[in-house]
Amino acid sequence: MFKRLFDWLRQPLGLIAVGIVLLTVFSLAAYGIFLTQQSSAQPIQFPHRTHVGFGIQCLYCHPGAARGPSAGIPSQAKCWGCHQQIAKTQTSALLAPLKQAVESGTPIQWVPVAMVPDFVQFNHRAHVAAGQNCEDCHGDMTLVTIAENPQVFNMGWCLDCHRKAAGEDEAKLLKLADCGTCHY
Amino acid sequence: MNSKIPEIKLSEEQTGKWGMVIDQDICTGCQACVAACAMENNLSFVGEVDAGYGRSMHWIRIERFWEGEYPEVKMTPGQPMMCQQCGSAPCEPVCPAFATVHSQAEQLNLQVYNRCVGTRYCANNCPYQVRSFNWRDYVRPEPLPNQLNPDVTVRRMGVMEKCTFCIQRIHKAEDKAKSEGRELTDGEFTTACAQACPANAITFGRIDQPESLVSQLIRKHGHGVKHLEELGTLPSVTYFKGG
């Protein structure tokens, strides 16, 4: 039984069949990997590169980072403050959703990119106050068009930096490596 | 780089950091603390079927007992019972997954939900019976999810949970104090149960600071009881009765 199958596979037609199967599996896998590398579909293709390039501070649009746990995403009112005076706003297809959102008063539904699971409590304020730069965790935003996550926010990554930050300070290490600091 | 984790101190030397004082003489047993706790900490409502199996979930409950022989029976005053945040907790060493660990920084018993695999050893070993287990993913009908507290993890099926002394409030207050460049002051924040108590029967604060309100109350009453202290659990909650 198995020998018959094996013999059939060894003739040219069989080899082609095997080749086709392998090719299909390989291209499906490649496509799957390609999909995971795509940045999420955002309602507006917001280019960080251009805006940060103009010298707009991160904290102008994400002021929560200096004040509290979450950095926040700017509302369309903040975008409109600049964009209603920019001629391109009336013509650019990229900006049409923004115009529409302002006119209809419906909030823009951004897709979250940088996030930790629900059971982790992260706090931007403590990090910004301790002098951590946005780039340390979010990468260089002047290079990206649509925000993406340059690194996985896993526990080893958090603890690695916390160990370094604590240095020789035992009490600080206790605090920064304590499960209750991040999980509750 | 300092990578050694400091040795766990022997229980006898442990003093505790956060503590609670409960005056049973002014507790009316109104259950406001129970409701406040459930709201603050995203507790699930198990429904009557599961409650019938004794699977109701509370982080705090009001205990009352009958005292004396019939017909001379009377009821004891209400006794709010929550995790006593033992300095030497019986729940901790029995966890095979190290999900219930002692916080060295805050001196509390932690329950790391994502680490918990649901063996329920800890609940069986807790002399105060204050741990509750998520037997199911209990549904919250709309619009109840809107009142979930974002600072507290929503637990899932198969996870043990218990009172945390509102650790999210501790962190929030500490963070606020740090952002203003000062030390945390006594009474600046309190737990949900203490905040809700209409009679002020529950007081929360630092038991390691002699000038804090809880320490003053303990000194003033002088006859506080720590439940099941004889087991060597070093509880952080002190009860007053008949003062």
Domain identity same for A75 and A130: yes
Nearest 5 degrees, angle CA B228-CA B229-CA B230? 90
- Are A22 and A109 within one domain? no
The band of A1, judged by pLDDT with boundaries at 50, 70 and 90, is low
Tell me how far CA of residue A82 lies from CA of A10, A51, A105, B105, in angstroms. 69, 11, 17, 46
In this predicted structure, what is the pLDDT of residue A5? 78
Cβ-based neighbour number of residue A167 at 10 Å: 11
Chain center to CA of A26: 27
Both A23 and A95 in a single domain? no
Question: What is the structure's pLDDT at B10?
Answer: 43
Has residue A82 been placed in a domain?
A: yes
Contact at 8 Å (CB) between B58 and B132? yes
Report CB contact under 8 Å: B179, A178: no
Does the beta carbon of B108 lie under 8 angstroms from any beta carbon of chain A?
yes
Nearest-by-Cβ selection for B164 from A118, A125, A184: A184
pLDDT of residue A54: 86
* pLDDT tops 70 at residue B243: no
Q: Does the pLDDT at position A38 exceed 90?
A: no
Q: Is residue A145 part of a domain?
A: yes
Distance CA A14, CA A28 (A): 21
Q: What is the mean pLDDT of residues B164-177?
A: 94
A168 and A124, same domain (yes or no): yes
User: Within a domain: residue A43?
Assistant: no
**3 state DSSP class of B212:** coil
Query: For residues B235 and B142, what is the distance between their CA atoms, to the nearest angstrom?
Result: 39
Residues A12, A67, single domain; the answer is no
Q: Convert the pLDDT of each residue in B197-222 to its tens digit.
A: 999 999 999 998 889 999 999 998 88
Domain at B123, CATH number: 3.30.70.20
* Same domain membership, residue A151 and residue A77: yes
Cβ neighbours for A182, distance < 8 A, ≥ 6 positions apart = A120, A121, A122, A155, A158
Q: Stretch A44-48: mean pLDDT, rounded?
A: 86
Whether residue A69 is found in the same domain as residue A93: yes
What is the structure's pLDDT at B1? 41
The residue-averaged pLDDT of A119-126 equals 94
What is the pLDDT, as a whole number, of residue B201? 94
Domain membership flag for residue A71? yes
pLDDT at A158: 93
What pTM value is reported for the model?
Answer: 0.88
pLDDT at position A122: 94
Mapping DSSP to helix (H, G, I), strand (E, B) and coil, where does residue B120 land?
Answer: coil
The mean per-residue pLDDT over the stretch B103-116 comes to: 93
Residue B2 falls inside a structural domain: no
Cα(B161)–Cα(A86) distance, integer angstroms: 54
- Residue B1 located in a structural domain: no
pLDDT for B14: 47
Radius of gyration of chain B (CA): 18
Mean local confidence (pLDDT), B115-134:
95
Among B227, B191, B207, CA closest to B33 = B191
Going by pLDDT thresholds of 50, 70 and 90, the confidence category of residue A153 is confident
Q: What is the mean pLDDT of residues B17-44?
A: 94
Number of structural domains chain A divides into: 2
Average pLDDT over residues B101-125: 94
| A18 and A68, same domain (yes or no) | no
Count CB-CB contacts under 10 A for residue A70: 15
The token pair at B80 is 């709010």
Which DSSP letter does residue A141 get?
A: G
Task: Tell me the sheet residues that pair with B203.
Answer: B21
Which band of pLDDT confidence, cut at 50, 70 and 90, is reported for residue B125?
A: very high
- Which pLDDT score is estimated for B221? 85
Q: Do B2 and A167 touch (CB under 8 A)?
A: yes
Any domain includes B3:
no
Query: Percent of chain A scored above 90 by pLDDT?
Result: 31
A181 closest CB neighbour out of B5, B101, B105: B105
More confident residue, A39 or B235: B235
- CA distances to A32, B29, B77, B243 from B199, rounded to whole Å, are 61, 10, 14, 16
B153 contact A CB<8A: yes
Q: Which are the contacts of A128, defined by CB distance < 8 A and separation ≥ 6? A: A65, A66
For residue B228, what are the domain limits?
12-240
pLDDT at residue B80, as a whole number:
95
Q: What angle do helix axes A96-104 and A76-83 make, rounded to 10 degrees?
A: 120
Q: Is the domain of A27 the same as that of A62?
A: no
Q: How close does chain A come to B28, measured CA to CA in Å? A: 31
Please report the pLDDT score of residue B97 as a whole number.
94
Q: Which of A169, A178, A183 sits opposite B104 (nearest CB)?
A: A178
Query: Looking at the 3D structure of chain B, how many domains does it have?
Result: 1
Nearest-CA distance from B220 to chain A in Å? 32
Residue A88 binned pLDDT confidence (cut-offs 50, 70, 90) = confident
Residue-number span of the structural domain to which A79 is assigned: 48-181
Q: What value does the mean pLDDT of chain B take?
A: 90
Helix (H, G, I), strand (E, B) or coil at B82: strand
| Confidence class for position B2, pLDDT limits 50, 70, 90 | very low
C-alpha gyration radius of chain A: 25
Considering the domain architecture, whether residues A22 and A53 belong to the same structural domain is answered as no
Does B196 reside within a domain?
Answer: yes
On whether both A63 and A106 belong to a single domain, the answer is yes
How much of chain B, in percent, has pLDDT values that exceed 90?
73
Looking at the partner chain, which of B2, B104, B178 has a beta carbon nearest the beta carbon of A168? B2
- Which range of A41-55, A133-147, B123-137 scores highest in mean pLDDT? It is B123-137
DSSP-assigned beta bridge partners for residue B178? none
SS3 B43: coil
The answer to whether residue B4 is domain-embedded is no
* Residues A26, A74 within the same domain: no
Chain B, 1 to 40: residues with Cβ < 8 Å from chain A are 1-3, 5-6
Indicate whether B138 belongs to any domain.
Answer: yes
